[in-house]
Every structure is written in C-alpha cells, then in structure tokens.
Amino acid sequence: MISRWTFGRRLAAGFGVACAVLLVIAGITYHNTTNLVDTEDWVAHTYEVRSRLADLTAALTTAESGERGYLITGNDNYLETYRTALASVKTAVDDVRRLTSDNPRQQDRVNQLQPMIETRLANLRDAIDTRRTSGADAAAKQIQQNGGLSSMEKIRALIVDADHEEGELLRVRAVESRGATTFTTGVIIWGGLAGLAAIAAIGSLITSSLGRQIGSAVSHVESSAAELQASANQQAQSASEQSTAMNEISTTINELLVSSRQIADSAQRVAGSAEQTAIAARGGQGMVDQTSDSIGGIRRQMDQIVTHMLELGKKSQEIGAVLDIVLELAEQTNILAINATIEAAGAGENGKRFAVVADEIRKLADRVGGSAKEIRTLIEEVRGAVNTTVMATETGSKAVDAGSRQFLDLSAAFRQIAALVASTTEAAREIGLSTKQQTSAVDQVNVAIADVTQTARETETSASETLKTASQLSQLAGDLLRIIRPGTSE
C-alpha cells in the first residue's frame, strides 16, 4: 500500500512519524517537568510550613520571654514584646492552619494546638494581670499553680510532631523529585536517540523508496521522451502531409465553388424555364377545358344522331310494314290476275282482250311486287345502315366518352403537370438558394481549410518544438537520474 503513496504523502508520513516521536518525548518530558515543578512547589510548601511552625515556636517563646521579663522587672517595655509576640502567634497559627489544609493529620494537630496555645496565652495574660495588680510574688505563685511549664512542653511536642510530619513529607517529595528528574533525563536522552534513529530510518526508507520510484519514473520519462520524439517526428511529418492535403483540398474546394456558382446559374435558368412551363401548362389546361366542352357538345350531337337514327329505324320498320301490305296486295293481285287470265283463256275469243288486260294487271302486280321487294331490300339496307350507324354512333359515343374521360385525365394530368411545374419552380428556387448558401458555405469551408492549413503549419512548427522539448526532457531525465543515482553514467 505504501508503494502507491505519493511523494508528498510519503514525506508527510515520514515527517509525521518523526514529529510524533518528538511529540511523545516532549509530552513525557513536559509531564515529568510539570510533576517535578509540582514536587518542588510542595517541597517549598513544606519548607514554608516548617518555617511557620518555627515562627510559632519562636513567637510563643518570645511571648513567654516578654511575660517573664515583665513579671521579673515590672517594666512595661516587656509587655510590648509580649504583645508583638501574641500577634505573631496568632498569625503563625493561622498560616499553619491555612498551609496544612490538605493534610488532615496536621489539621488535627492544629486543632489540638490552638486551644492549648490560647490557654497558655491566657495563663500568661493572667500572670501579667496578677503582676500588675498583686505583685511579683503573687504572679510567681500563680505561675507555679497554673503549671505553665508542662503545657508549654506539650505545645512544643505537638509543634515538633508537626515539624516531623513535614520533614517526612519533605523527604518523600525529595525522593519523588529525584525520581522525576532521573526519569525526565532518561526520557530526554533515550527518547532523543530513539527519535533520531526513527527519523534516520524513515529518511533512509523515504530516500530509498523515492529513489527507486523516481528512478523508475525517470526511466519512464526517458522512454516517454523517446516516444515523444518519435511521435513528434511523426506528427511533424503528418502535419506536413496534412498541409499538402489541405492545399489540394483548397484547390478542389475552389473548383467546387466554381461548380456551385454554375449550378446556381443553371438552377436559376431552370426556375425560369419552369415558370414558362407553368404558364404553358396553364394555357394547355384552358385548351383542355375548351376541348372538353367541345367533346361534351359532340357527345350531345352524337346522342341526337342516335335518337334520329333510332327514329329512322322505327320509320323504316313502319315502311316495311306498309311494304308487306303492298307485297301482299301485289301477290294477291298477281294471283287474281293469273286466275283472271285462266278464266279469260276459258272464255275463248271473248276473253282474249280480258286476258290481255289481266296479263297486264299481272305484270303490273309483278312490277309492283318487284319494286316493293326492291324497296324492302332498300329499306333493309337502310335499316342495316341505320343499325350500323347507330352502332357506329354508339361506338363513337363510347369513344367520345372514353375521349372525354381521357380529356378529364388529360386535364387532371395538366393540373398535375402545373402543380409539378410549380413544385419544380419552387424546388429550382430552393436549389438556387441552397446552392448560393452552399457557395457561401464552401467559401467558409475554404477559409476554414486555409485556417486548417495554417494550423497544420503551426502544428508542424509545434511538432519541431515538441521534438526539441522531448530532447531536453530526455536530457533532464538523465540529469535527474544521475542526481538520485550518482553512479549512473550518461
């Protein structure tokens, strides 16, 4: 995991460990020094307590001396000493009580000592009062009765005990002070040595690790510099080729620009032609509409022709019926004439003239029959012609219908052509506009290609600079490698 740390992290970790060692040493030293100072304070405190106990003893002695001097001499100057000693006694007792407040045994002693002192001081005051009122003898007698010597001894014994207590505490604290001093000295010496060793080890470790990694990185940098040199060479070559290609593209784009302008002109001409075609298509549409109306008229005329022809056929049929009657009459006349001829022949000479008339009648009937047959034939031909005409007219009517439909289709086609031509016109305009835009875009492309060409040249220059930089980087890598590995040759 440490191998993945950055240099800064490693350095921070190394300095952190060194600082931690120093902090531990400093902490321990600080703690011991503080203890030592406390111990010294307590030693001073003990000395002060012992001093106050000595002051108490001295004040009591002074008070007793002043009381004795006054008792002996009656001189009031001794009373002054006495009074001063009383204040000192009180102060010393208060100081001892205050200074030994943390020690219950000493407090007990003070508590025992204070009434004894008060009693003793009361005895001294009583003796002084007795001396002042009753004289020296009465005072001596009172002193003997009060047993002042024993109470003073008891007071001294308690003060000595208290002093012994403080002396014992002083001895213990002196031992603690020496131990703390010794420990602190050891910590400072051995901790300092250990810290130096740890810092040296960490420094060696960091130096070794960084040397390895920097060496590896420098090797990589050298390799990368070589690759960068090759890449820069290739880039320079590519930039040169790109510049050449850009020049060719620029030439092609110029040709494309000329073509685009020609296309724009052609599109404009196409738009003009399409507009003329649209006008022609609209004219054609009008002619188609007129022709469609004419076809409608022809259709109506054809219908009238069919009607007339059918009427003619009907009349022909009626003529045929009349002809049938005529034929029937002619045939009947023929038969009657023949029979009349037969009868006339039977009449001999008398019937000859009648026979001639009858024969003429028969011939007339034959001619009528023949004419009727011819008329029938003609009528049949007329009917056939009428039928043919009707059929032809119907065929023509169907053809007219088909033609009308075709003209409708043609009209629709013309409208579609007009719409398509309009669409073509619009498309041609759009093509023209698009081509102009394309021409503008091609101009922009041309400018961009010029920029790209310039960029390619700059890239070529930059590649040369990169090549130079790569060489310098390679040289720097060698220098760095020699710095971290002094034995490395160039």
Partner 1 sequence: MNGNDHNQESWLLCRAGSHLCALPLAQILEVMRPLPIEPLAEAPAFIRGIAVIRGAPVAVLDLGHLLGQTRTKPSRFVTARVGGRTLGLAVTEVMGVLREDQIGAHAAVPLLREAAGEAVSTIGSLDSEALLFLDKLQLLMEGVPV
Q: How far is the CB of 378 from partner 1 (least distance, A)?
A: 23
User: Which tokens in the block code for residue 442?
Assistant: 């091609």
414 CB-contact burial (10 Å; exposed 0-12 / middle 13-18 / buried 19+): buried
Residue 355 binds partner 1, judged by CB under 8 A: yes
Q: Which stretch binds partner 1 (CB under 8 A): 75-83, 248-256, 338-346, 379-387?
A: 338-346
Residue nearer to partner 1 on the CB measure, 316 or 334: 334
Residue 341 binds partner 1, judged by CB under 8 A: yes
User: What is the C-alpha separation between 36 and 179, in angstroms, rounded?
Assistant: 9
Residue 219: C-alpha distances to residues 4, 206, 232, 419 (Å): 18, 19, 19, 77
State which of residues 362, 400, 421, 481 lies at the interface with partner 1 (CB under 8 A).
Answer: 362
CB 319 within 8 A of CB 337: no
Q: How far is the CB of 354 from partner 1 (least distance, A)?
A: 12
User: Which tokens in the block code for residue 74?
Assistant: 């009656």
Residue nearer to partner 1 on the CB measure, 8 or 346: 346
Residue 350 binds partner 1, judged by CB under 8 A: no
Residue nearer to partner 1 on the CB measure, 120 or 362: 362
Residue nearer to partner 1 on the CB measure, 325 or 342: 342
- Spacing of C-alpha 157 from chain mean position: 92
Residue 339 binds partner 1, judged by CB under 8 A: yes
Q: What is 291-338 written as a DSSP string?
A: HHHHHHHHHHHHHHHHHHHHHHHHHHHHHHHHHHHHHHHHHHHHHHHH
Residue nearer to partner 1 on the CB measure, 310 or 336: 336
User: What is the C-alpha separation between 361 and 341, in angstroms, rounded?
Assistant: 10
Phi, psi of 374 (to 5 degrees): -60, -45
3 state SS of 189: helix
Residue 338 binds partner 1, judged by CB under 8 A: yes
State which of residues 346, 486, 487, 490 lies at the interface with partner 1 (CB under 8 A).
Answer: 346
Q: Which stretch binds partner 1 (CB under 8 A): 13-21, 228-236, 239-247, 356-364?
A: 356-364
Residue nearer to partner 1 on the CB measure, 170 or 340: 340
Nearest residue to 399 via CA among 298, 306, 291: 298
State which of residues 342, 412, 433, 483 lies at the interface with partner 1 (CB under 8 A).
Answer: 342
Residue 345 binds partner 1, judged by CB under 8 A: yes
Q: Which stretch binds partner 1 (CB under 8 A): 20-28, 150-158, 247-255, 339-347?
A: 339-347
State which of residues 38, 48, 303, 359 lies at the interface with partner 1 (CB under 8 A).
Answer: 359
Q: What is 39-69 written as a DSSP string?
A: HHHHHHHHHHHHHHHHHHHHHHHHHHHHHHH
CB 254 within 8 A of CB 446: yes
Residue 361 binds partner 1, judged by CB under 8 A: no
Phi, psi of 103 (to 5 degrees): -120, 110
Give the x-and-dash track for 446-475 against partner 1 (CB under 8 A): ------------------------------
Residue 276 binds partner 1, judged by CB under 8 A: no
**Could you list the residues that contact partner 1 (CB under 8 A)?**
331, 334-335, 338-339, 341-342, 345-346, 355, 359, 362-363, 366
